[in-house]
Structures are given as C-alpha cells and as structure tokens.
C-alpha cells in the first residue's frame, strides 16, 4: 500500500498455482534483503547509517478493525481453497480509505525467478536464510 496520510488497507495473496508476490511487484526487495542478513550484517549497516534502519521506516498504528477485514478475507480464501467451494482469489487488496476490495487478475510474470527457480522445490532449491 502507498504510505501516505489517510491511505490504509492491506493485501491477501493466495499462491497455490501460479504467481507470487514477486510476480505482482509487491515485495520490498530492501526488506527481503534485510530479512536474510545476519545480525552482524544488520549491525554493520546500522553503524554506517548511524541509526537503526527500522527507526527510519514510516509505519502507522495497527488498527484492529482493519486487521479483522484482512483476516476475514484471508480466512475466506483459505476456506475456498481447502473445501473446493471455488478457486481461491489469487490477490485481493483492501483499500480501507475507499471502502472497497480490489481483485487483481493480472497474469503472473512468465520470467519470475521465484516461481520458475525455487517454487515447490523444497530443499532442492538450495536456499538458505
């Protein structure tokens, strides 16, 4: 979601067939890189900048009703997937400031390195944290 005053919401992504968060450009690559860094690497980067990077991020408060909407959307898609009631909706974005849920029907990126390179390969993907 865009980080601007008055804009809030969240996303639900069900990745059971094709497509992932990377295909839809929804991953913050800097955040992913930071997640995979060791504590030593994080500390070194914090020392370079002189302040922990987390202190520089703009984050709003967690609001229970908004969290409830996102959780309900996710639970509904999970129920649809496991019961076979229907195919789960791949990507939904709740735009609370507009009071609507937008469904993304874009096809997955055919050259996605996550889907083509490591998805469903388990230990054979040779990926370590």
pTM above 0.75, yes or no: no
87-100 burial by CB neighbour count: b if 16+ within 10 A, else e? ebbbbbbbebeeee
Give the three-state DSSP class for 38: coil
pLDDT tens for residues 97-128? 999 999 988 888 888 877 776 666 666 656 56
Instruction: Take residue 101 and report the two structure tokens written for it.
Output: 């849920």
DSSP-assigned beta bridge partners for residue 9:
95
- For the chain, give every domain's residue range: 9-26+63-121
């Amino acid at each position: 979601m865009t980080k601007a005053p008055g804009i809030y919401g969240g996303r639900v992504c069900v990745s059971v067939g094709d497509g992932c968060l990377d295909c839809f450009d929804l991953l913050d690559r800097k955040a992913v890189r930071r997640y995979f860094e060791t504590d030593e690497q994080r500390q070194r980067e914090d020392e370079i900048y002189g302040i922990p990077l987390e202190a520089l991020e703009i984050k709003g408060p967690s609001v229970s009703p908004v969290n409830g909407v996102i959780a309900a959307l996710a639970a509904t898609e999970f129920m649809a997937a496991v019961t076979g009631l229907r195919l789960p909706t791949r990507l939904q974005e709740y735009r609370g400031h507009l009071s609507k849920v937008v469904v993304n029907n874009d096809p997955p990126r055919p050259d996605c390195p996550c889907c083509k390179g490591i998805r469903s390969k388990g230990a054979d993907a040779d990926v370590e944290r």
